[in-house]
């Protein structure tokens, strides 16, 4: 799990340098979220599937099938938490008046 969380942390650190409270930050945000989510999912699910000892003969073909089956559910969770973070971020930004300087 450490590599999976590490990927997400590194993506957040990278995006921190790209951030501004404007629409031009959306493309780097979406790109970093998409890439880090996919890589993190590969690390976490792949680690469990190949090294967890639950499956007798793990293969990449079966892992691909399982990834296609379960990854959309993971995206729902990521989308929910990103939406919640976005709402909190916007509320705090407007409360602190940050939006007025860059509008």
pTM: 0.73
List the structure tokens of 40.
């993190």
Per the CB < 8 A criterion, the answer to whether 45 and 1 are in contact is no
Overall number of domains in the chain: 1
List the structure tokens of 56.
């007798």
pLDDT at residue 103 in the model: 47
Mean of the per-residue pLDDT values for the chain? 86
| pLDDT tens sequence across 23-64 | 788 888 888 988 999 999 999 889 888 888 888 889 999 999
pLDDT at residue 42 in the model: 92
Position with higher pLDDT, 103 vs 34: 34
Residue ranges making up the domain that contains 19: 2-102
pLDDT at residue 14 in the model: 92
DSSP label of 55: -
């Amino acid at each position: 799990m450490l590599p999976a969380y590490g990927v997400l942390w590194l993506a957040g650190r990278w995006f921190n340098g790209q951030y501004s409270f404007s629409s031009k930050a959306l493309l780097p945000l979406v790109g970093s979220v998409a890439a880090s989510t996919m890589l993190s999912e590969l690390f976490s699910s792949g680690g469990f599937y190949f090294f967890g000892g639950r499956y007798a003969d793990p293969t990449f073909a079966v892992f691909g099938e399982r990834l296609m089956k379960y990854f959309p559910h993971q995206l729902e969770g990521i989308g929910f938490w990103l939406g919640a973070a976005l709402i909190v971020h916007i509320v705090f930004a407007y409360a602190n008046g940050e939006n007025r300087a860059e509008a």
